[in-house]
A = this chain, B = another copy of it.
Amino acid sequence: MSGIMRIGRLELRVMDLEESVNYYTDIIGLEETGRDGDRVYLKAWDEYDHHSIILQKSDSAGMDHMGFKVRDIYELEKLEHRIEQFGCKLTRIPYGTRLAEGQAVRFEIPTGHQMELYTEIEQVGTGTGIINPHPWPDGLRGIAPHRLDHTLLTGDDIEAVTRFFTEVLDFHQTEKIVTVDGEVMIGSFLSATNKAHDVAFVKGPDAKFHHAGFYVDNWYEVLKAADILTKNEVPVEVTPTRHGVTRGQTVYFFDPSGNRNEAFASGYVSYSDFPTITWTEDKIGTGIFYHRRELVESFSKALT
């Protein structure tokens, strides 16, 4: 029963801002909702907050921070207290730092990633409105996902970051990957919601970004996504398949800066009493790519 409502935004570093904006609007099909110096703000058609993706012009690719929206300021205060008790140093991001946002608190999680919590962001509404809405808006472009769904990050201490998310932030762990002897956790899938995951961590270098997952409705939409990627010559890393973990359907590809993206569909509903699923490392291939049953080499190497 987390005070955290959802993964609200990812700020991604990109090298060629215009090329990246074209990619995220034409290929992914997000909507540009604002610009502010070296940042461009984007949202998916089914999101009502002002943005879920921020592209930040930079010299290198990667994730600047991930932001989670908290239910209200009382929950936020409670979480701040617990985060500090855990030993993280909080920084205040003042109002006006980025477009359409209120203030936020920022801190580093045990894997070295920057995370923000916030309650305020301007609402601009979905593409379908809230009065007698149609199920989808006209004029959709590209993959046209419903929303930012989750992110996967790498880090060294998966146990510690799992404790942080479950004990401090009240996430529940839906799945974990452990060494065959059961001694070491090397993958952890964490949810603050009823989704199969909102954030996940796999063993790897600290502070690195693995991918941003965007939600599409079904397996045919995964096919459409993959078709669009080929039509536009976007590098595809993993062609349409099912995950063992989450059972979701997926295709992986890269933005122009090399940040990995995913179009993700289906996946189970999880409740906070969901019995954590365990994958043993010898089955990690099946867990990640259910049909191929082995990892793709680039999958653990291409990090930003």
Residue positions of A touching B, CB distance < 8 A: 1, 3, 5-6, 46, 48, 69, 71, 75, 123, 125, 130-136, 138, 146-147, 193-195, 215, 217-220, 223, 226-227, 229-231, 236, 239-242, 244, 247, 249, 251, 266, 268-269, 271-280, 283, 286-287, 289-293
Contacts and interface: CB of A to CB of B under 8 A. Distances in A.
A5 B269 CA distance: 12
Given A1-B71, A226-B241, A135 B290 contact: yes
Contacts of A266: 217-218
Given A217-B266, A236-B293, A266-B217, A132 B272 contact: no
Nearest to A239: B291
A291 B229 contact: yes
Contacts of A273: 5, 69, 71
Contacts of A48: 274-275
Contact of A251 (B71, B231, B291): B291
A289 B239 contact: yes
A266 B147 CA distance: 14
B275 A123 contact: yes
A6 B273 CA distance: 10
Given A133-B244, A227-B291, 12 more contacts: A69-B271, A130-B278, A132-B278, A135-B242, A195-B269, A218-B220, A218-B266, A226-B291, A230-B290, A230-B293, A240-B241, A240-B291
Contacts of A226: 241-242, 290-291
B231 A269 contact: no
Contacts of A231: 134, 138
